[in-house]
Amino acid sequence: ETGVTQTPRHLVMGMTNKKSLKCEQHLGHNAMYWYKQSAKKPLELMFVYNFKEQTENNSVPSRFSPECPNSSHLFLHLHTLQPEDSALYLCASSQGPMGGGRGNSPLHFGNGTRLTVT
């Protein structure tokens, strides 16, 4: 049990499909994140949420749409993706500054969703 659960584990979708990635954390954290991990590249931060409010959008294309209904759940809605969007999408959570967390509070990651866009 990782504390951060992501579903599905694998996803194959066509460029015209609409799908969603789900993330759930059971750690009582107040901050949640989406990261993109592509081969041979550093992890790229996509979105940050604090207490359900989006506090950072790292210039992500609008074909990626995040949703955070509460502090425990985070979604990433996908539509009209491109083949170059194929990657591992990692969700993470932490006790952010607004929740009393310290800067050395680590991120806890899920196992990721391996996305393939055909």
Partner 1 sequence: AQTVTQSQPEMSVQEAETVTLSCTYDTSESDYYLFWYKQPPSRQMILVIRQEAYKQQNATENRFSVNFQKAAKSFSLKISDSQLGDAAMYFCAYRSARRETSGSRLTFGEGTQLTVNP
Residue 49 as a binder of partner 1 (CB under 8 A): the answer is yes
Site map 59..88 versus partner 1, x via CB under 8 A: -----------------------------x
Q: Is the dihedral of CA 92, 73, 10, 59 positive or negative?
A: negative
CB 69 within 8 A of CB 30: no
Which one of 1, 16, 41, 84 is in contact with partner 1 (CB under 8 A)?
A: 41
Distance of CA 83 to the CA centre of its chain: 19
CA distance 19 to 118: 13
Site map 12..31 versus partner 1, x via CB under 8 A: -------------------x
* Closest alpha carbon to 14 in 113, 87, 80: 80
Q: How many residues bind partner 1 (CB under 8 A)?
A: 33
DSSP one-letter code for 66? E
Residue closer to partner 1 (CB basis): 45 or 79: 45
Q: Which residues bind partner 1 (CB under 8 A)?
A: 2, 31-33, 40-43, 45, 48-50, 55-56, 88, 90, 92, 94, 96-98, 101, 103-112, 114
